Structure 1
């Protein structure tokens, strides 16, 4: 088993690590810090012990004991992941099709489901010149699609300039996700000229519901005003709703409202429990309620991520556990943080990715240990209830970021209604030995899922 350390250590000699999932900072001693440095996805714990012996006055036995106890604690805190195999290098992978860029951490709303705790401008955000330079590199490398988000992208005064530069570089599409508050007719007309795709977030069919989700009064009025303005100026406009227990009953009303406004593209997404989303994790829909919502949306041809795969017949034939591409993150897409770190996806913004100030985008895409670690993930890494599910080849065990936020990137999805229904059958079976196994997450469930 080879551990891999995801998160960044602290600055200087403080020996701290910060977990963005729950906004917690942990202080380490120097030995702990050195152990995490060696968790590179290539070394076994015994090999890490050999390195500690050289640096500290420890016996091999003491070093292994120390490492095992420490890594177990780090695993339980979500700081490391384990795989059976070493990660592989994929230097000829080819450019990603889409790059998602959180262009700033600053935001004028306080959405209850956001992965961004503070909504403040990050330290050392990339300058206008640095952003433009990286955009040129990505275009030259062959990136096809670009999507800006935040924070609130238009909190950056140079955002129109950045958009104009990106639009002139030949990307197939350039999109911006915004809450709409800072848009005015002058900005919108600039967007019209650039043929952009703009996504506005709407989380209610009235001000009370939307503003409660967004944390600021008046947000609904501003968002609706911006939608009307964008459509009036001919900008390609879509709307996204984050489904929670607070607004799920209002989604039919949101759909009607979007129809009245003339919005053609509408989608729904779920909450990933990171940042404020972790603090408000009780607002997430249960898997059963999510299933009802997805069935409702499917009938109306409305997109809801990839949750619909288990509503279709499972694929025939045996599972190839060596199949790559378990997640699109680091394979066909990646994200860039406000400070320039290239990471597998937006929700992994706090991990130790390489920075655009240190390397070109192409170099990072081809050489990053974090990105190559994600590319190395196979179906064989998936554990728990998902491992023997007949939908595994198409579902891949659910969103890796969501699983990671729940404690283990390779464990069963907490949002899957198939897993929930299977778990409930096991727990209600009356077989005490099965109930104990399911509580430990150790049960092979082929007889339950494949029946």
Structure 2
């Protein structure tokens, strides 16, 4: 399955890059680009690839470096805001490894971002909880993959208690927080632990997303986290019970609308596109730690421009490469994904779910 996923993903990325190369000469001769049809809604900036854990199913932490300088990040936030962005996602291996993380989040709030989100392993949250409580619009996901023995086996001894301490510190300060889990073979039996945590701490939301081979390709034991082909019925039953338990408890599952696509993704190697096409490239920009820009986390065939080299976000957003990527996403001509951080609204709309 891994080989099929890897081959399909790389083929799709190569297709995007090939299309970009073939049209680059035409773009160079073209008149000034027409503005993108809609405003930018969300910007995600990779703040760091450093982490204080070395989780077994992840290789992002091996990068070991911070992203752009603080002044460049703040300038990007201001420019994105002028283009209409109201959502800022601070991503990276562990965002709180950056010493200036609070300053960055505070500036995003000052600029008027209505939603500021990030995911953390929780270990550094207690020391920041009081200051985080003063940031309006902030929402934090804490990675908790199941009961203590399951979580620690994946993320290291003591990591469960550290995550729980971080979650509780945020709860005590009134920060919007939810547990977030990765669905894979080791976590299946204890995935309902998230419901228990949410009930115990009075939380209204959890998030579950499937294991993504892309972030663990260079890990030698990646097959230990993928499901056996004959466990399909078991996984379906567990997901069904999780939905039922969440509804009974009045808890929202942020990725609920993606559940029907999870089995084909996990067992058939199918990389879905939301029904009606992916709308993410028409409202989202990702800026990597090196300044490259992309229309989503998975369409990385060609950068739309490098902000570290002085390219303006406005020119990227209204440029020909962005328009082409937007069209490909809407047509379903992209690598496809099933990431909880991706086009959740499109899945929600197709499922008839309304989120407040």
* TM-score of the superposed pair, with normalisation by structure 1: 0.58
Select 2:207's aligned residue among 267, 283, 304.
267
Does 2:258 match 1:307? yes
Helix, strand or coil at the partner of 1:246: helix
Question: Secondary structure, in 3 states, of the residue corresponding to 2:48?
Answer: coil
RMSD: 3.3
CA displacement at 1:159 relative to structure 2: 0.7
Q: Are 1:150 and 2:102 matched, yes or no? A: no
Q: Are the equivalent residues in 2 in contact too, given 1:104–1:338 (CA < 8 A)?
A: yes
Higher helix share: 2
SS for the counterpart of 1:157 is coil
Within 2, Cα distance between the matches of 1:290 and 1:344? 32
**Could you tell me which of 63, 67, 77 is aligned with 1:135?**
77
How far does residue 349 in structure 1 lie from its aligned partner after superposition?
A: 5.7
Contact 1:205 1:257 in 2 (8 A): no
Segments of structure 1 that go 5 or more residues without pairing to the other structure are: 1-20, 23-34, 48-88, 312-322, 383-396, 404-451
Number of positions where the alignment pairs a residue of Structure 1 with one of Structure 2: 296
Residues 381 and 222 (structure 1), Cα distance of their counterparts in 2 relative to 1, 3 Å cut = closer
Q: Partners in 1 of 2:188 and 2:329 — Cα distance?
A: 34
2:328 to 351, 356, 377: 377
In structure 1, how many angstroms separate the alpha carbons of the residues matched to 2:158 and 2:69?
31
Q: Are residues 1:367 and 2:312 paired?
A: no
Residues 325 and 375 of structure 1 are in contact (CA less than 8 Å); yes or no, is this contact kept in structure 2? no
2:151 maps to which residue? 210
Alpha-carbon displacement from aligned partner over 1:250-294 (angstroms, at most 9, x marks no partner): 012232133213322111111221131564155234655543343
TM-score, normalising length: structure 2: 0.73
**Equivalent-residue separation in structure 1 for 2:134 and 2:255 (angstroms):** 30
| Structure whose alpha-carbon radius of gyration is higher | 1
1:192-231 map, 5 Å: 192-195=133-136, 196-206=138-148, 208-214=149-155, 216-231=156-171
- For residues 295 and 36 of structure 1, what CA distance do their matches in structure 2 show? 36
**SS in structure 1 of the partner of residue 328 of structure 2:** coil
CA drift at 1:325 = 6.1
Partners of 1:325 and 1:378 within 8 A in 2: no
1:241 aligns with 2:181: yes
Given the alignment, which residue of 124, 127, 131 partners 1:190?
131
Ranges in structure 2 where 5+ consecutive residues have no aligned partner = 1-5, 8-13, 26-32, 248-252, 263-273, 340-356
Higher relative contact order (CA 8 A, sep 6+): 2
Which of 41, 45, 48 is equivalent to 1:97? 41
Structure 2 distance, partners of 1:135, 1:378, is: 24
Q: Deviations over 1:221-246 (max 9, x none)?
A: 11100111100011111111111100
The verdict on how the C-alpha distance between 1:100 and 1:183 changes in structure 2, with shifts beyond 3 A counting, is same
Distance in 2 (CA, whole Å) between partners of 1:38 and 1:249 is: 41
